[in-house]
Amino acid sequence: MPKFSLNNQVIVIAGGSQGLGKEFARKFFQEGSNNTVVVVSRSRTKLQKAVCDITGEKESLELTNGFRTTTNGASSLVYAVCDLAEYEQVEKLQELLESCSLVPTIVKLCAGGSTPGLFKDLKGHDLELGVKVNYMTCVNLAHVAVRHWPCAHLVFFSSEVAFFPFIGYSQYAPLKQSIKALVAILRQECPQQRISCVYPGNFDSEGYVLENQTKPSITKEIEGASDAIPCEECSNRIVRFLKWGYDDITTDFIGWFLMCTDMGLNKQNNVSIGWPLQWVLGVICNLIVVPIYMLICKFQIRSWHKALEKQA
C-alpha cells in the first residue's frame, strides 16, 4: 500500500471549493512540492475564489486540454467544474484528466453537507439534495476511480453520526452510513488499492455555520457541548494519521469512542489508532455504558416531545 505523502502527487479533491476540501488543497499546494492539485465542485465562482485565495493570485486557472504540469518542483493548482452527482459529468472529468496526461494518485471525496431538521419538516428538495451531495457525488467519483485509477489512494469522508445517528440528522446520517458500508465492500473488492475513511467531528467551516441555522434544539441537546475545531487543525490531524498508516480516522476523542461502540465481532478490516483497545472498550461499553446512555437519550427526546405538545 502506498505511503501517504504531501509531495509528488496528482490530487483530485471533490468539494474543494470550501471547508476541508479547500484546506487540503491549500496544504498540498503550499506545504507540498511537485504536486498537481485539481479542485472540483459545481460552482465555478466558488472554485475561482478558492484557487485565488490559496495561490494569492488575482486570477485562477481552469483545467483544460492544454494544461501541462510543472517540472521544476513547484506545485500547480487548478479547478474543474463538475457536478459529481451526475455520472456523465464525472466521466467527462476523467476524460479531461486523461487528455492532460494526469493520472490521480490521491482522490479525496470531501463533498457533502448537512441540513439538520425533523424529517417531517424537510422539503423533498432537501432529501434529494442529501442523497446527491452526500452519496452520489462520492459513489460516482469512486466508481470512476476504481475503474480508471486502480493505484490511486481513495480517501472517503463519512461522519461521526455514521456510528450514532440521532434525531435531526435524517437528511444526512443515512448517507454517511452508506459511505461506511461502501468502504467496507471496496476494501474486499479492491485489495490492491489503499482505501481510507475519515469520520470527522465538528470543525469550523462554512457548512458548519449553515448547519447550525436549522439544527433543532433537541439535536443540540443530545450533541452536547462540542466545540468545532479549526478547519486547519482538523486537516492536520487527518494528514498525521494517514502518514502513520491508519485508514479509519476520527478527528476527536468523541469520534474515537463512538467508533469503539461500533466495533462488534463482525468488524471488517478496521485500521484505526488503538484498534485492539477500541474492540475491548466497545464490548464493555455496549454491555454497560450504551444501554444507560440510550435511556438518557430516550428521556431527553420524550421530554422534548412533551414540551412541544404543551406549546401546541
| Helix boundaries (H) for the chain | 19-30, 44-55, 87-99, 124-131, 137-148, 173-189, 206-214, 217-223, 231-243, 253-262, 275-287, 289-311
Catalytic annotation on 79?
no
Q: Which of 172, 196, 199, 272 is catalytic?
A: 172
Helix (H, G, I), strand (E, B) or coil at 155: strand
Catalytic annotation on 58?
no
Q: Which of 114, 169, 176, 199 is catalytic?
A: 176
> CATH number, domain at 254?
3.40.50.720
39-60 pLDDT, tens digit each: 999 999 999 999 999 998 888 8
Looking at the domain assignment, is residue 297 inside a domain?
no
The radius of gyration of the chain's CA atoms, rounded to the nearest angstrom, is 20
Model confidence pTM above 0.85: yes
Measured between alpha carbons, how far is 15 from 32 in angstroms, rounded to an integer?
Answer: 20
229-278 pLDDT, tens digit each: 899 999 999 999 999 999 999 999 889 988 888 876 555 567 788 777 88
Catalytic annotation on 158?
yes
Give the HSE-up count for residue 16: Cα atoms under 13 Å, Cβ half-sphere. 31
130-146 pLDDT, tens digit each: 999 999 999 999 999 99
Looking at the domain assignment, is residue 217 inside a domain?
yes
Looking at the domain assignment, is residue 3 inside a domain?
no
Q: Which of 158, 159, 170, 235 is catalytic?
A: 158
Looking at the domain assignment, is residue 112 inside a domain?
yes
The angle formed by the CA atoms of residues 59, 63 and 65, to the nearest 5 degrees, is 130
Helix (H, G, I), strand (E, B) or coil at 87: helix
- How many domains does one find in the chain? 1
Q: Per this entry, what is the length of the chain?
A: 312
Q: Which domain holds residue 186?
A: 10-278
Measured between alpha carbons, how far is 310 from 228 in angstroms, rounded to an integer?
Answer: 33
